[in-house]
Chains A and B, each alone.
Chain A
Amino acid sequence: MEFTEVPVNQQSKAKKKKNKAPKMKRGASQEGDGEKVGLETEGGDAKKMKPETATFPPTFSVSEIKNKQRRHLMFMKFKQERRKQKMQLRKKRQKEREALGDKAPPKEVPKTIENQRVYDETTVDPEDEEVAFDEGTDEFSAYFQGLTNPKVLITTSDRPRGKTVKFCEQLATVIPNAHVYYRRGLALKRIIPQCISRNFTYLMVVNEDRHVPNGLVLCHLPDGPTAHFKVSSVRLRKEIKRRGKDPTEHYPEVILNNFTTRLGHTIGRLFAALFPQDPQFVGRQVATFHNQRDFIFFRFHRYIFKNEKKVGIQELGPRFTLKLRSLQKGTFDSKFGEYEWVLKRHEMDACRRKFQL
């Protein structure tokens, strides 16, 4: 029934429109996708043949059509048309480029929020004496001078279930010299002095929610700092496709990407100090902390040089994403500790182009 009705309507509409033809053109072009529609109206006869593709009055929008099926149909058509135009334009441009050959103008770089980043005044200048001194004497300096060897204790929130247990085990295979302990309901503030007396340099606590890890507290010992991360998109080894064989016990290499600001530097150093300083290249294993838009992506790979130019990589897992919530001075003390940096949502992320790390 509807279908029979609609063409009648359309025809009557079309009749009306005939008189207004020049106006329609303008209206269409105002909508921004004018060209094609304009062409059709020029070849006026075609319009009579196909009433569906008739142009609309200037204020028409697809959402005004009351019939759902009809609206859907029209919208699909509208989209198809737009896509066609786009493709045409693209082909045209490509042809022009080919025709110009070498003289073609350089390709435009797409705008992303990263390359439009708001300048951060804390960006570390490698030649800055003061920052160098600050970093040279901070809590990690003992590690970077080669005085201490990392020793990591991994534990969880109380009564870990499911994925979290496996996640901890797999983390322990990634980080050399890591020990996984059952929490046994102990308070972190009581664990820390014991860790210090046993020469641990890191305490790592994985928090879980609904059997899925969702938080990570990374506490550098003996005197801080403590970082709190949100953990998301954890994929364990089993869930990774095309993964390699289990990792060996060689010390991996560490890649830290894009930690540029002063805060980013501290976080980068925090991650670097998790791993022993002299990687064993025999193992050909790399742990990567890649920072992009304040999210830190962790990946663990094995690489192989196929020939002089080609390198093959194979993911070993696990993979997860971290986002910094807070950085606290001193060892874990969420109540009385002093925070060096706290993520304040809606205040700090009001500008999408401003990044903290």
Chain B
Amino acid sequence: MEERARLCSVWLGSETGILKGVSVARKQAFNFCNSSHLSRDQEVRVLAWADPDESELLLGSVDGSVKTFSLEKGVFTDTRRCGDAQDGCFTGLGALPGGALLTCVERGVVRVWREDKSEPVTELNAGANVCRMRQSPVNAQRVATGGKENGLKLWDLERPGGPVFTAKNLRDDWLDLRRPHWVRDMAFIPDSDKVVTCTGHHQVHVFDPSTPQRRPVLEAEFGEYPLTALALPAAGGAVVVGNTHGQVAVLDLRKGLVRGALKGLAGGVRALQCHASAPLVASCGLDRFLRVHSLDDRTLQHKVYLKSRLNCLLLSRRPLEEAGAGPGAGPGEVKEEQDEDDEVWAAMEQVEEEAGKRKAEEPETQKKTKKKKKK
């Protein structure tokens, strides 16, 4: 169990309440749950890393509980209740420095929880029908919320009195009709204050809180179906968006034009994430597949069938293809193996690398056959 957890580089939460880990290099998928009591109440809505060195995962389920999953032990270590089921599902989850927990629910209540207290430390109301809450990757205290008829708001958790920035609605259209708001997802653009959002009315907006303009500084449209997820590639200058029909495209953030489409999806997109360093984007959704596309040539790199509808997705920071183990624990394991081998291979130092590779491959093939048998 522990070893399996360390292998995985992609984590997915499913509608059936199962946490799934996928090792792309080994082309294996694992379920992390006790299959004896599966239930739809456990449906995983949001996933987040509990700490910056990615040793623990946080899962927000539909029934209002947040579970902690330890990658080193490969088991769920902790469950705590964060809010009632009446508040609606989780729309955002994050960890704050100092072990605090940040949650947001559909009703629009953003709460900060300390580990020792059962009551929230900070609570702020972001308005009804919040579709997504996201934390800035640079400053953990900076948070964005947005939803249906609830424009983008930026908050500073240290000053919970009011939002730092509130987006203004778009100008009325040429018939002088009000244009509806519907923020579905947002992301902080690194190296600037800007925030990019995608809406249920197939628009992509870029807001710039550093300027006095509260309306979007860039408006773009993609397709004709609601956009559900977005992700920022590591290279910058672009945004990947996906809609309910499974159309995923890379939009340029300078002019808002489509750079290219990522093909192969059959159903609506639920979550997108780009890899922190490599030009890769992972997508999951209602068609029960995890797909990894390359952003360079937009080809499909990996495709894994995961049996349940997938709600959320989380990539680890290390290279996707790396077959090795997780942070900390990884090198130790490799060393051990080498120690054993040293006696045998002492005379053959020059080809040591190759031998090591072969060693690594052997258990893999064995596992594959095992998996087949299971199937």
Interface residues of A (CB under 8 A from B): 121-122, 125, 128-131, 133-134, 137, 262, 329, 335-342, 344, 347-348
Residues in B111-167 with C-beta less than 8 Å from chain A = none
| B40, A137: Cβ atoms closer than 8 Å | yes
Q: Which residues of A contact B366 (CB under 8 A)?
A: none
Listed by A's residue number, 29 A-B pairs whose Cβ atoms lie within 8 Å are: A125-B375, A128-B307, A129-B35, A130-B16, A130-B18, A130-B35, A130-B308, A133-B16, A133-B35, A133-B38, A134-B307, A137-B39, A335-B225, A336-B200, A336-B226, A337-B244, A338-B244, A338-B268, A338-B286, A339-B244, A339-B245, A339-B268, A340-B268, A341-B267, A341-B286, A341-B287, A342-B245, A342-B267, A344-B246
Residues in B180-209 with C-beta less than 8 Å from chain A = 200
Q: Which residues of A contact B226 (CB under 8 A)?
A: 335-336
Contact of A342 among B35, B246, B264, B308 (CB under 8 A): B246
Q: Which 9 A-B pairs have the closest CB atoms?
A: A338-B268, A340-B286, A121-B305, A338-B244, A340-B267, A130-B307, A133-B38, A339-B268, A341-B267
The reply to whether the CB of B288 lies closer than 8 angstroms to some CB of chain A is yes
CA distance A329 to B310 in the complex (A): 13
Q: Which residue of A lies closest to B266 (CB)?
A: A341
| B266, A344: Cβ atoms closer than 8 Å | yes
| B266, A348: Cβ atoms closer than 8 Å | yes
CA distance A268 to B330 in the complex (A): 46
| B305, A339: Cβ atoms closer than 8 Å | no
Q: Which residue of B lies closest to A122 (CB)?
A: B305
Q: Which residues of A contact B38 (CB under 8 A)?
A: 130, 133
- The distance from the CB of A261 to the nearest CB of chain B, in whole angstroms, is 10
Contact of B228 among A125, A131, A338, A342 (CB under 8 A): A338
Residues in B257-275 with C-beta less than 8 Å from chain A = 263-264, 266-268
4 further A-B contacts with Cβ under 8 Å, apart from A130-B38, A342-B245, are A335-B226, A337-B244, A339-B286, A347-B264
The reply to whether the CB of B31 lies closer than 8 angstroms to some CB of chain A is yes
| A130, B245: Cβ atoms closer than 8 Å | no
Q: Which residues of B contact A134 (CB under 8 A)?
A: 15-16, 307-308
Q: Which residues of B contact A329 (CB under 8 A)?
A: 268, 286
Q: Which residues of B contact A137 (CB under 8 A)?
A: 16, 39-40
Q: Which residues of A contact B264 (CB under 8 A)?
A: 347
| A340, B309: Cβ atoms closer than 8 Å | yes
Q: Which residue of A lies closest to B303 (CB)?
A: A121
| B286, A131: Cβ atoms closer than 8 Å | no
| B288, A339: Cβ atoms closer than 8 Å | no
CA distance A216 to B45 in the complex (A): 33
Residues in B296-327 with C-beta less than 8 Å from chain A = 305, 307-309
Q: Which residue of B lies closest to A129 (CB)?
A: B35
CA distance A33 to B357 in the complex (A): 55
Q: Which residues of A contact B16 (CB under 8 A)?
A: 130, 133-134, 137
- The distance from the CB of A335 to the nearest CB of chain B, in whole angstroms, is 8
Q: Which residues of B contact A344 (CB under 8 A)?
A: 246, 266
Residues in B2-48 with C-beta less than 8 Å from chain A = 15-16, 18, 31, 35, 38-40
CA distance A336 to B268 in the complex (A): 11
Q: Which residues of A contact B288 (CB under 8 A)?
A: 122, 262
Q: Which residue of B lies closest to A326 (CB)?
A: B245
Q: Which residues of A contact B39 (CB under 8 A)?
A: 137
CA distance A347 to B18 in the complex (A): 31
Q: Which residues of A contact B35 (CB under 8 A)?
A: 129-130, 133
CA distance A344 to B286 in the complex (A): 15
CA distance A122 to B306 in the complex (A): 9
Q: Which residues of A contact B244 (CB under 8 A)?
A: 336-339
Q: Which residue of B lies closest to A334 (CB)?
A: B225
Q: Which residues of A contact B18 (CB under 8 A)?
A: 130
Contact of A347 among B15, B263, B309 (CB under 8 A): B263
